[in-house]
């Protein structure tokens, strides 16, 4: 089989490797679609993400779907949870498996999905309805993360919200906020095609900017929004969020910053008495929720996919991802395969 491994910063190489042999609790999966995201980009540019550093050639990719090839579920299309929680640590026992201290995560601590096949725990393989195509289904994992962020924001009908950073995850979050009954939704991004995308989804205000203040707020939210989401992982987005939040508001940090550091002016946040939450991946229940939203057509996935590549063209896919020219970049490991 073919695997795409990151050897060093910007150094991706194709390898011929044996097909993995699944253990008793695993199934062999033929990978059909893998979404590339910001964390993959961190690995590609920095050879690290946060304090986890590349120590061996690593297969990236954690937003993946495929077809089971072994066991009683052979032939079943599935979306896979990329987080293998230990189930025994204190966070897991408390129901916070996304905070597992011994988690094995695809494309991070263990090899991910940018390969023809992989063995993965069967319990983490969720049935994929026929109505959700593979390429669209590769967005289900980020949709699960967006659901977790939505929960952290304590959003309810009538809430006013800001989303700062409108890449694919931000656009998914915008859709969820509108479905949740948000009254006013303000969004910013420095890239014009992303601003156009969020306008098309129905944002109240969409502004092409890297950093802004209360001047972007409409009259209905002139006192500040109730909740703001940084989905860019950049200090300018956090500054915009803090500036546009009302006193007593809530800030949810979703984006992953470069160099593992975020900075903001403490006095402004302190005077407003803001509550700050950080979004760590998704909870196990979020992927089934995401599948249900996609199956019932309550969320738009297909329109977010702008680029599709074969595994052999993986380096080109990462080049496009780096340039941020489109929206969602998807690799299809079986594309062009003999």
At 73-87, the pLDDT tens digits run 999 999 999 999 999
Structure confidence at residue 38 (pLDDT): 87
Q: Closest Cα to residue 73, out of 121, 35, 36, 39?
A: 121
The 10s digit of each residue's pLDDT in 7-52 is 999 999 999 999 999 999 999 999 999 999 988 999 999 999 888 8
Longest CA pairwise span in the chain (Å): 62
Q: Is residue 296 part of a domain?
A: no
Q: Is residue 287 part of a domain?
A: no
Number of helices (H) and strands (E) in the chain: give both, helices first. Answer: 10, 20
The 10s digit of each residue's pLDDT in 217-271 is 999 999 999 999 999 999 999 999 999 999 999 999 999 998 889 999 999 999 9
The pLDDT > 90 percentage for the chain reads 92
The predicted model gives 101-123 an average pLDDT of: 96
Residue 253, token pair as written in the block: 């940090």
pTM of the complete model = 0.95
252 and 164 in one domain? yes
Confidence of residue 337 (pLDDT cuts 50, 70, 90): low
The 10s digit of each residue's pLDDT in 180-216 is 999 999 999 999 999 999 999 999 999 999 999 999 9
245 and 217 in one domain? yes
Q: Name the residue range of residue 249's domain.
A: 143-278
Q: Is residue 324 part of a domain?
A: yes
3 state SS of 124: helix
Nearest 5 degrees, angle CA 287-CA 174-CA 82?
25
Q: How far apart are CA 199 and CA 178, in angstroms?
A: 12
Q: Is residue 293 part of a domain?
A: no
Cα dihedral 308/313/319/325 (nearest 10): -20
Structure confidence at residue 51 (pLDDT): 84
- Per-residue pLDDT for 338 more than 60? no
- Per-residue pLDDT for 72 more than 90? yes
Q: Is residue 104 part of a domain?
A: yes
- Per-residue pLDDT for 96 more than 90? yes
pLDDT averaged over every residue in the chain:
95
Higher-confidence position of 335 and 292 = 292
CATH label of the domain that carries residue 198: 3.40.50.720
């Amino acid at each position: 089989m073919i695997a795409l491994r990151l050897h060093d910063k910007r150094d991706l190489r194709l390898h011929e490797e044996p097909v993995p042999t699944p253990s008793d609790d695993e199934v062999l999966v033929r990978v059909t679609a893998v979404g590339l995201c910001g964390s993959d980009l961190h690995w590609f540019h920095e050879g690290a993400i946060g304090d986890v550093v590349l120590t061996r050639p690593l297969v990236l990719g954690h937003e993946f779907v495929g077809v089971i090839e072994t066991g009683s579920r052979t032939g079943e299309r599935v979306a896979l949870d990329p987080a293998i929680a230990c189930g025994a640590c204190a966070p897991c026992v408390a129901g916070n498996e996304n905070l597992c201290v011994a988690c094995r995560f695809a494309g991070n601590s263990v090899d991910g999905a940018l390969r023809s096949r992989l063995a993965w725990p069967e319990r983490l393989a969720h049935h994929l309805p026929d109505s959700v195509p593979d390429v669209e289904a590769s967005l289900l994992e980020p949709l699960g993360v967006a659901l977790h962020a939505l929960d952290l924001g304590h959003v309810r009908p009538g809430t006013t919200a800001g989303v700062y950073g409108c890449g694919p995850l931000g656009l998914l979050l915008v859709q969820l906020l509108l479905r949740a009954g948000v009254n006013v939704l303000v969004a910013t991004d420095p890239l014009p095609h992303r601003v156009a995308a969020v306008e098309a989804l129905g944002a109240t205000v969409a502004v092409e900017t890297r950093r802004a203040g209360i001047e972007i707020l409409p009259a209905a939210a002139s006192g500040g929004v109730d909740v703001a989401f940084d989905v860019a992982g950049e200090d300018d987005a956090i500054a915009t969020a803090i500036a546009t939040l009302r006193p007593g508001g809530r800030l949810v940090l979703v984006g992953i910053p470069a160099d593992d550091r975020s900075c903001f002016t403490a006095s402004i946040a302190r005077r407003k008495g803001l509550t700050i939450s950080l979004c760590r991946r998704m909870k196990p229940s979020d992927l089934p929720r995401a599948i249900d939203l996609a199956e019932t057509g309550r969320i738009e996935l297909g329109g977010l996919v702008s680029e599709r590549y074969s595994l052999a063209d993986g380096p080109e896919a990462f080049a496009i991802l780096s340039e941020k020219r489109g929206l969602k970049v998807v690799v299809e490991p079986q594309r062009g395969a003999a």
